[in-house]
Amino acid sequence: MMVSPGYAVYPTLVFIFFIIFPAVVLGDASDYEGKPIARIVFVPREQPVDPEELHRILPVKERTRLRLDDVRAAISRLYATGTYADIKVDAELRDGEVILRFITENNWFIGRVAVKGQIKSPPNAGQLANASRLSLGEVQTDDKMSQAVNGMQQLLKSNGYYESHVEPRFTYDPRANQVRIDFDVETGRRARYAAPTLVGDLKMPTEKVVSATKWKGWIFGWKPVTQSNTQRGLSNVRKKYQSKDRLMARITLDKIDFDEDTITARPVLNIRPGPKVSIMTVGAKVSRGKLQRYVPVFEEHSVDGDLLVEGQRNLRDFFQSEGYFEAEVEYKSQKVVNDKEEIDYIVNLGKRHKLVKVDIEGNHYFDTQTIRERLFLLPASLQYRRGRYSESYLRRDEETIANLYQENGFRDVKVTSTVKDTDLANRSQLAVTIHIEEGPQWMISKLEVDGIQQLDRKTILAKLSSTEGQPFSEFDVAEDRDNILSEYFSQGFPNATFEWSSKPGPAPYRVELRYTISEGQRRFVREVLTSGLVTTRAQLVNRNILLNPGDPLSQPKMLEIQRRLYDLGIFSEVNTAIQNPDGDTQNKYIIYQMDEANKYSIATGFGAQIGRIGGGTNLDAPAGTAGFAPRVSFDVSRLNFRGLGQTLSFRSRISNIEQLGLISYTVPRLYDIQRLTLTFTILYDDTKNIRTFDAKKEEGSIQLSQKISKANTALYRFTYRNTSVSALVIDPLLIPFYSQPVRIGILGVSFIQDRRDDPTDSHKGIYNTVDFGFASNVFGSQSSFTRILGRNSTYHPIGKKLVLARSVNFGWLAPFTHQTQNPNLVQAADVYSGAALEDIPLAERFFSGGGNSHRGFPENQAGPRDSGTGFPVGGQALLFTNTELRFPLSGTTLGGVLFWDAGNVYSRLQDISFRSSQPHQTLLMTTNGVTAPQEVFSFNYVVHAIGFGIRYRTPIGPVRLDLAFSPNSSHFGGCAGYSGTQLLQCGLFNPDGSPLLPRKNDRINPFQFHFSIGQAF
Amino acid sequence: MTPLLLLFLASIACRAEIIDRIAVTVGNGVITESEILREIRLTAFLNGEPLDFSPVVKRKTAERLVEQRLIGNEITASLYALPSAAAAQEMLKQIKDRFPNPTVYQEELMRVGVTEDELKAHLTRQLATLSFLDFRFRPGIQIGDDEIGKYFSERLAPELKKAKPDGEFSLSDFRAQVLEALIGERMDKASDAWLKQARDRTRIEFRADVFASEPPKEASK
For residue A20, the model assigns a pLDDT of 46
CB contact under 8 A, B34 and A68: yes
- Rounded to whole angstroms, the Cα distance separating A25 from B20 reads 9
> How large is the average pLDDT for residues A105-120?
92
For residue A387, the model assigns a pLDDT of 86
For residue A825, the model assigns a pLDDT of 52
Q: Detail the DSSP E strand segments found in B113-210.
A: 204-206
Range from A116-120, A687-691, A692-696, B146-150 carrying the lowest mean pLDDT: A687-691
User: By C-alpha distance, which of A507, A570, A561, A559 is closest to A535?
Assistant: A570
Judging contacts by C-beta atoms under 8 Å, the chain A residues touching residue B53 are: none
CB contact under 8 A, A88 and B219: no
pLDDT tens-digit readout, A404-414: 999 999 999 99
Of the pLDDT bands very low, low, confident and very high (cuts 50, 70, 90), residue B183 is very high
Q: Respond yes or no on whether the N-terminal peptide bond of residue B102 is cis (omega within 30° of 0).
A: no
Nearest-CB residue to B28 (from A18, A29, A582): A582
Judging contacts by C-beta atoms under 8 Å, the chain A residues touching residue B13 are: 17-18, 21-23
For residue A972, the model assigns a pLDDT of 87
For residue A366, the model assigns a pLDDT of 95
- Rounded to whole angstroms, the Cα distance separating B137 from A390 reads 45
Nearest-CB residue to B18 (from A26, A76, A583): A26
Range from A626-630, A725-729, A998-1002, B15-19 carrying the lowest mean pLDDT: A725-729
Query: Are A345 and A315 a contacting pair, CB within 8 Å?
Result: yes
> How large is the average pLDDT for residues A435-452?
94
Provide DSSP, A910-936: GG-----SPPEEEEEEEETTEEEEEEE
pLDDT tens-digit readout, A916-960: 999 988 877 766 677 777 788 899 999 999 999 999 998 888 899
pLDDT > 90? residue A186? yes
**Residue of chain A nearest B115, judged by CA positions:** A30
A879/A608: higher pLDDT: A879
Nearest-CB residue to A91 (from B10, B16, B25): B16
Q: How far is A345 from chain B (nearest CA, A)?
A: 41
**Residue of chain B nearest A32, judged by CA positions:** B19
**Residue of chain B nearest A41, judged by CA positions:** B12
For residue A611, the model assigns a pLDDT of 66
Instruction: Give first-to-last CA distance, chain B, whole Å.
Output: 40
**Residue of chain A nearest B30, judged by CA positions:** A76
pLDDT > 60? residue A977? no
Query: Are A633 and A604 a contacting pair, CB within 8 Å?
Result: yes
Residue A913 CA, chain-centre distance (Å), reads: 44
Of the pLDDT bands very low, low, confident and very high (cuts 50, 70, 90), residue A795 is very high
- Rounded to whole angstroms, the Cα distance separating A1013 from A958 reads 6
Is A88 in the B-facing interface, judged by CB distances under 8 Å?
yes
Interface test with B, best of A18, A25, A104, A585 (most B CBs within 10 A): A25
Is A30 in the B-facing interface, judged by CB distances under 8 Å?
yes
Q: What is the pTM of this model?
A: 0.72
Residue A790 has a CB neighbour count (10 Å cut-off) of: 15
pLDDT tens-digit readout, A85-104: 999 999 999 988 999 999 99
For residue B216, the model assigns a pLDDT of 46
Q: How far is A147 from chain B (nearest CA, A)?
A: 15
> How large is the average pLDDT for residues A534-548?
92
> How large is the average pLDDT for residues A462-466?
92
pLDDT > 70? residue A828? no
CB contact under 8 A, B213 and A24: no
For residue A24, the model assigns a pLDDT of 42
Dihedrals phi, psi of A263, to nearest 5 degrees: 50, 55
User: By C-alpha distance, which of A91, A89, A66 is closest to A78?
Assistant: A89
> How large is the average pLDDT for residues A652-660?
88
pLDDT tens-digit readout, B78-131: 878 788 889 989 999 999 999 999 999 999 999 898 999 999 999 999 999 999
CB contact under 8 A, A76 and B19: no
Is A911 in the B-facing interface, judged by CB distances under 8 Å?
no
CB contact under 8 A, A72 and B34: yes
For residue A65, the model assigns a pLDDT of 94
Q: What is the DSSP letter of A848?
A: -
For residue A249, the model assigns a pLDDT of 87
Query: Are A445 and A510 a contacting pair, CB within 8 Å?
Result: yes
- Rounded to whole angstroms, the Cα distance separating A391 from A377 reads 10
Query: Are A445 and A439 a contacting pair, CB within 8 Å?
Result: no
CB contact under 8 A, A68 and B19: yes
Helix (H/G/I), strand (E/B), else coil: A136: coil
> How large is the average pLDDT for residues A1013-1017?
88
Contacts 24+ apart (CB under 8 A), B140-144: B140/B190, B141/B183, B141/B186, B141/B187, B141/B190, B143/B179, B143/B182, B143/B183, B143/B186
User: By C-alpha distance, which of A483, B138, A308 is closest to A475?
Assistant: A483
- Rounded to whole angstroms, the Cα distance separating A59 from A71 reads 8
For residue A6, the model assigns a pLDDT of 37
pLDDT tens-digit readout, A333-347: 877 788 888 899 999
Q: Which residues contact A704 (CB under 8 A, 6 or more apart)?
A: A670, A676, A677, A678, A679, A715, A716, A717
A936/A677: higher pLDDT: A677
A549/A616: higher pLDDT: A549
pLDDT cut 70: percent of chain A above it? 89
Q: Detail the DSSP E strand segments found in chain B.
A: 17-26, 29-32, 204-206
- Rounded to whole angstroms, the Cα distance separating A846 from A903 reads 13
pLDDT > 80? residue A775? yes
Average pLDDT, rounded, for chain A: 87
pLDDT tens-digit readout, A602-641: 999 888 777 666 555 555 666 666 777 788 999 999 999 9
Interface test with A, best of B7, B14, B17 (most A CBs within 10 A): B17
Query: Are A881 and A853 a contacting pair, CB within 8 Å?
Result: no
- Rounded to whole angstroms, the Cα distance separating A837 from A815 reads 11
CB contact under 8 A, B33 and A89: no
For residue A986, the model assigns a pLDDT of 66
> How large is the average pLDDT for residues A635-648?
91
Query: Are A610 and A628 a contacting pair, CB within 8 Å?
Result: yes
CB contact under 8 A, B209 and A19: yes
For residue B194, the model assigns a pLDDT of 93
Of the pLDDT bands very low, low, confident and very high (cuts 50, 70, 90), residue A8 is very low
**Residue of chain A nearest B215, judged by CA positions:** A25
Chain B contacts to A (CB-CB under 8 A): 6, 9-10, 12-22, 25, 28-30, 32-35, 37, 113, 207, 209, 213, 215-216, 218-221
Q: Respond yes or no on whether the N-terminal peptide bond of residue A11 is cis (omega within 30° of 0).
A: no
pLDDT > 50? residue A585? yes
Q: What is the DSSP letter of A28?
A: -
How many angstroms separate the Cα of A866 from the Cα of each of A834, A873, A978? 8, 6, 16
pLDDT tens-digit readout, A201-257: 888 999 999 999 999 988 889 999 999 999 999 999 998 998 888 888 889 999 999
Task: Give the count of Cβ contacts less than 8 A between chain A and B.
Answer: 110
Residue A760 has a CB neighbour count (10 Å cut-off) of: 14
Strand-pair partners of A887: A896
pLDDT tens-digit readout, A899-910: 999 999 999 899
Q: Which residues contact A906 (CB under 8 A, 6 or more apart)?
A: A834, A863, A864, A875, A876, A877, A878, A879, A912, A913, A939, A940
**Residue of chain B nearest A582, judged by CA positions:** B28
CB contact under 8 A, B207 and A86: yes
Range from A817-821, A828-832, B119-123 carrying the lowest mean pLDDT: A817-821
Q: How far is B64 from chain A (nearest CA, A)?
A: 18
A residues 92-121 lying closer than 8 A (beta carbon) to B: 92, 99, 101
